[in-house]
Every structure is written in C-alpha cells, then in structure tokens.
Structure 1
Amino acid sequence: MKRKKNLLSIMMVFMIAVLTAGCGSQPSAAPSAEGSQQGQGSAANSDKIVIGAALPDFDDKWLSYLQDGMKQYEATQENVEVIYVDAMNDASKQLSQIENFIQQQVDAIVMVPVDTTSAPNMVEKANAANVPIVVVNRQYEGVEKATAYVGSESIKAGLMQMEEVAKLLDGKGNIVIMNGQMGHEAQIKRTEGNKQIIDKYPEMQVVLEGTGEWDRAKGMALMENWLQTGKQIDAVVSNNDEMAIGAIMALEAAGKLEHVIVAGIDATPDALEYVKSGQLKVTVFQNATGQGKGGLETAIKAAKGEQVEQFNWIPYELVTKENVEEYIKKWQ
C-alpha cells in the first residue's frame, strides 16, 4: 500500500512539472511592422545586403537614366536589395531619408545630393553611424569624407562643350549661357568651364546669362525672354540638354534657329535626335547608367567590407552629328 502511495506521488509531481513547463513557454511573437522594417539591414539578415538609394528627383529625366543604371546592375546581383527614395528636390526631406536609412541599419547608402550645401551633414551622420556612404554625380568641397565618390568632372564637360562651340563660331560671337539650378555643383563647374574657354577668345563674349533650372519648359521661356531683348545671339550654351531643347523650340518658333548654334550636355536620347537632325549642334555624353551602376557597385563592395577607390571617374565624351549614331546605339 505504501508503495502505491509513493508511485502515485511521483506521477503527480511529474504531471505538475509538465503542466508548469507548458504554461511557461510562450509562442514566438509575430514581428511588428517597425521590427520588420528595422530588419532590412545586416543586423537582422546576414544573407542579404540592403542598400539605401537617396535620389533627389525621380521626375528628372537624366537622373531617371542614372536610376535605371542602378536597377540594371541590381538585377545582376544575388541577395542584394536596393530601397529607392525620392527627395523631391527637398534637402530637408533627403536628410530625413538618410536618417531613416541609418535607423533601418542598411548596409550602405548611395546618395545623389539634392544640393552640395546639405550633403556634408548627411555624410557626417552616416559616418557617425559607421554606415558606408557613396556620393554619386554631384561633387562638392569635402566629398572625400564620404566612403567614395562616383561621377564625372563637371568642369570638363563645360570645357569640351565650349571648345566645340568656339570652333563652330571661328572664335567670335555673342554667347548666352543657360544655367541649371543655381548652386548645384554641375551648374557652377560647367559654367566655369564655359567661361574659361570664352576668356581665351577676345572676340567672344557672354551677353546674357540666366537659369532654366535644368527644365525644358523653363529653358524655352528663358530663350523667349532673351529673344525679346533684341540682342544679337550667335550661340546658346546650356548646362544640360533639356534646357537646350527648350531653347531650340523657342528659336524655331521665332524663325531664328538656323542662325544660332545651340549646345547642351548629357546626350540624352531626346537630345541625340536633335543632334541627328542638326538642330542641336553639340552635346557632351555624361554616362548616366554608368554612374548609377558604378555607384551601386561601389556601395555593395563597401557593404562587404572591401577596399574601394576614393574617386571613381566616369569620363565625358563629345557628341556631334558626325558621331551621333554611336551614342544613339548606347541607349538601345
């Protein structure tokens, strides 16, 4: 009888232990939306490399080609995810996006700055968080503090563009310069390159200068205003193709296009058609897809802890009617 009582006691202790263990083990909680977003970085998923791409304006035509270059390269990579965000040309919005990337623990950041004034602060924040940051396309003083820079030397585009225009004008004539968004590195340096060449020719001078903010419609409006001044204009030298196309449209409407040389920069698909037709005499190929690819490739290497070059230059190339077919093929 005593043995039965002992056996019963042992069984009761065992059952209590099982029930207690069952009550103590809780099911794993489903991740919250915030936790899921935080987990996009390497801290939560060591198999996937996540890159944050902070772009200034999804609606900008040239920058859309740069983004295409990133997406094309992304498609060739295994276990790489790129999160693209649009700052809508708002520097404070871009700063917030960079801070969000850091909070999400992305493995690296690719940034085309909205402007060169706000860029150093964004790079500083990434550096403080030990997140590699690659600046693309827009160079500025102090860019060497970023992990790397990928882009082209804007002043060279201005030099190449104006040298060809000077040749077409036989070294004399009245020049109008269409600036992009004032304060942008490309606007400053391309115009500086233009003026360095103009200064070499005593019979060439800048008679008008203004901004079309990189935009075709604004370039057209600016050209219309200049035509109303009655000043003699021999060449329109534009910081980009979109404004140059706008100038062509205004000149054509006024019946003056055949008497004016128009030059742009970027060699976009639209611009190359104008070169082919002879309406745009000069453009300079800036390899948008090459910069996008190069920026993402560099960021991925940095995310893996590989050594990267501080400066990665994508060269400019002069485009005229003689070689335009070669560049049309690049976009096909």
Structure 2
Amino acid sequence: MKTKKIIGLLSITFLMLGLLAACGSDQTSGSKSGEKSIVVGAAMPVFDDKWLSYLYDGIKEYDSEHDNVKVKMVDAKNDAGKQFSQVETFIVQQVDVILINPVETDAVGPMVDAANEADIPVVIVNRMPDEEVMKKIYAYVGSESIEAGTIQMEKVVELLGGKGNVAILNGTLGQESVVNRTKGNKDVLKKNPDMKLVREQTGDYQRSLGMTVMENWIQAGDEIDAIVANNDEMAIGAIMALEEANKRGDIIVAGIDGTIDALEYVKQGKLNISAFQDAYGQGKGAIEAAIKAVNGEKLDNNFINIPFELVTQDNVDEYIKKWEK
C-alpha cells in the first residue's frame, strides 16, 4: 500500500511539473526565436462600431504579423465600469502593457492609476484623456478632435455662404471626442454671427439614433440648413431620415471619420463633407507604441498625432483608395 501511495504521489508531481513546463512553453509559443511573448491587454469600448472595427484591424494585423506579440482584446460593451474590471483582470494576469480606448475619458484615470501601481505601462488610443492622465501614460495615439470639428464647420460655413441654421448631432456624451469636436464646431460659429445653432442632441454615435433624432427634428418643423454630426454614422442616419421624408433638398450634411460607407455617400453626393480619421493607422500606431513601452524606448512627445483631413466629392477617390487592401 505504501508503495502504491508513493507511486501515486510521484505521478501527481510529474503531472504538475509537466503542466508548469507547458505553461512556460506557452509563453514562448508563436515566437520563432524563442523569446518570451509580449502580452498586450487591449481594453476596447465596443466591438459593434463600424469605424472602430478598422482601428481594431490595425491592432490585429500587427498581432498576426509578429510571432512574439499576443493581444488579448476585450469588449466593454460601452460600459465604463465593465472596462475598469477588464483592466483589473489584465493587471491580475500580469500583461506586459495595457492598451485602452476609453468608454468614457472621464473614467480612465483610475484604470491608469491601477496599472501604474502594478508597474504596467499604458497606451491610450483614439480618445484623449485629460492633462493629468496624459502625464501618467506612456503615450496617447490619436487625432486632435477639435481640429476635426473646426475644419468640418469651416467648410459648412463656406458652403452656406456664411449664413444659415445649423443642427449638431453629438456622439456619446462624456467622451473627449464629443466635447472637442463640438467645441471646434461652436468656435467657428462664434466667428460667423449669421450662422445660428438651432438644435443640438446626442445620437450616441449610432446611425439608427442619428436617424431617430433627425426624424424628430423634421416633425418639429425647424428650418435647418445644415446637419453637422460628430461622426459619419449619425450623418448617414440623418440623410436616411431626410430622404425618407422627402426633405433632403439642399440641406448640407457633414460627418467625421471618413469610413468607407461615408466615402461612398460622399462620392454619390449624398454626404457633403467628412473629416478623414485614419482608424487603421491609429490602431497600428497604438500597438507599435505599446511594444516600444515594453522595450523601454523613450519618446520625445507622448502625444502621437495623426491629423484629420477634409474630404469632399472633389478628393474622395484618394481616400477610398486608402481603404483598399
């Protein structure tokens, strides 16, 4: 009996050692040179978003092309509390770097603090945090939201000859992009006294909600000369509502992001303006910055800017080519 017990204990010991060895080999799996894989925890706001899907592609493609990089990407389903829990899980898992596209920029501070306490570097992409958080992260990769709102509204003013009624469709409230894109819009309006803001409401960055808000504005009977949306999806929703009500007429509709759907609308003359934001480039830039953080590389500036570019029917073809792979 004693012999059997000893054999049993030895068997369990060897099994445990085998599991540990397997775990160790898993850390280097996929790495041709045998070095330890860099594990990136990517906390994303929502998977069900057309524009963000291109940003995710930039991250995923880099991941697939580098054997020593493993990306764990999670969906917060637009819930800031859930995103915080996901970041905490990454910390417990001891990932090498955390990449965050915040659900709400106001809520990202505690996530960064928790990662800092665990000595895990943080890269934020697309939605810029405040100055205090910027001091605590390795890098922010994205575009100047205020620039997008500025060039968008300047073109609207030009198209209307400096006079008209404007309605603004806001994205998801609480996000930096909404605050600053809208600020860019309103700063331009202040410089043009014959331009009047008559309506402003959130469409939560969604096409369906943009359509619903536009339907309500049509029913209210307001005279609107331009719809200026914080993103293309809401702009397309507004166009759909206008067309369905036979109210499209000469109303100017402007979006932001330059998604492939929006560019087709621009090409057809349905969407007058978009401001191209390179989603794929932001995703790729963010994962590249994350790897630099793990490798201890120093940056001259932790704001990696990818500029917005105005898109009209005159130049839309060059932006459509950017999405062709």
Instruction: Give the TM-score normalised by the residue count of structure 2.
Output: 0.90
- Indicate the SS of the match to 1:51: strand
**Deviations, residues 270-320 of structure 1 (Å, cap 9, x unaligned):** 000100011100000011001000000000111112223411001100000
Give the aligned partner of residue 192 of structure 1. Answer: 183
**CA distance in structure 2 between the partners assigned to 1:330 and 1:219 by the alignment:** 26
SS at match of 1:293: helix
The corresponding residue for 1:3 is none
Matches within 5 A, 1:122-137: 122-137=111-126
**Matching residue's letter, 1:197:** V
Q: What secondary structure does 2:106 align onto?
A: coil
Query: CA-atom RMSD, angstroms?
Result: 2.3
Q: Give the structure 2 partner of residue 143 of structure 1.
A: 133
Q: How does 1:238-257 map to 2 (within 5 A)?
A: 238-257=229-248
2:45–2:83 CA contact under 8 A, matched in 1: yes
Specify the SS of the correspondent of 1:27.
helix
Cα distance in 2, alignment partners of residues 252 and 260 from structure 1? 11
Aligned length: 308
Name the counterpart of 1:4: none
Partner Cα distance (1:125, 1:155) in 2: 29
* Cα pair 2:27 2:36 within 8 Å, conserved: no
Measure how far apart 1:75 and its partner are.
2.4
> Aligned partners of 2:59, 2:169: CA distance in 1, in Å?
29
Corresponding residue for 2:284? 293
Return the offset for 1:194.
Answer: 0.2
Q: Is it true that 1:31 corresponds to 2:22 in the alignment?
A: no
Residue identity opposite 1:243 in structure 2: M
Say whether residues 1:59 and 2:51 are aligned partners.
no
Q: Does residue 62 of structure 2 align to residue 70 of structure 1? A: no
Matched residue of 1:237: which SS? Answer: strand
Retained in 2: the 8 A contact 1:151–1:291? yes
Which residue of 1 is the match for residue 320 of structure 2? 328
TM-superposed CA distance for 1:108, in Å, is 0.6
2:75 aligned to 61, 86, 95, which one? 86
Percent identity, aligned pairs only? 55
Describe the superposition over 1:87-114 as per-residue Cα deviations: whole angstroms up to 9, x where unpaired: 1111111111111111111111110011
Secondary structure (helix, strand or coil) at the match of 1:78 reads coil
Q: How far 1:207 sits from its partner (Å)?
A: 0.4
Shift of 1:47: 1.8
- Deviation of the 1:28 alpha carbon: 4.6
Pairing 1:298-309 to 2, within 5 Å after superposition: 298-308=289-299, 309=301
Query: Could you list the per-position Cα deviations for residues 236-286 of structure 1 after superposition, in whole angstroms to 9, with x for gaps in the alignment?
Result: 000000000000001111212122000000010000010001110000001
SS in 1 for 2:192: coil
Partner of 1:312: 304
Partner SS, residue 259 of structure 1: coil
Deviations 1:119-171 (A, max 9, x none): 00000001110001101111121231111111011000000100000000000
How big is the shift at 1:228?
Answer: 1.1
Q: Give the Cα–Cα distance (whole angstroms) in 1 for the partners of residues 163 and 261 of structure 2.
A: 29
The alignment's TM-score, normalised by the length of structure 1, stands at: 0.88
* Contact 1:91/1:114 (8 A) holds in 2: yes
- Shift in Å, 1:24: 7.4
Structure 2 residue runs of 5 or longer lacking an equivalent are 1-5, 29-33
**Could you tell me whether the CA contact under 8 Å between 1:40 and 1:106 is conserved in 2?**
no
C-alpha deviation, 1:31, in angstroms? 3.2
Indicate whether 1:157 and 2:148 are aligned: yes
Seen in structure 2, the aligned counterparts of structure 1 residues 127 and 276 have a Cα distance that, compared at 3 Å, is: same
Distance in 2 (CA, whole Å) between partners of 1:36 and 1:269 is: 42
CA deviation digits over 1:214-242, x for unaligned, max 9?
Answer: 00010001001001111110000000000
- 1:166 counterpart SS class: helix
Q: Is the 8 A contact 1:68 1:289 kept in 2?
A: yes
Is the CA contact (8 Å cut-off) linking 1:49 and 1:107 kept in structure 2?
A: yes
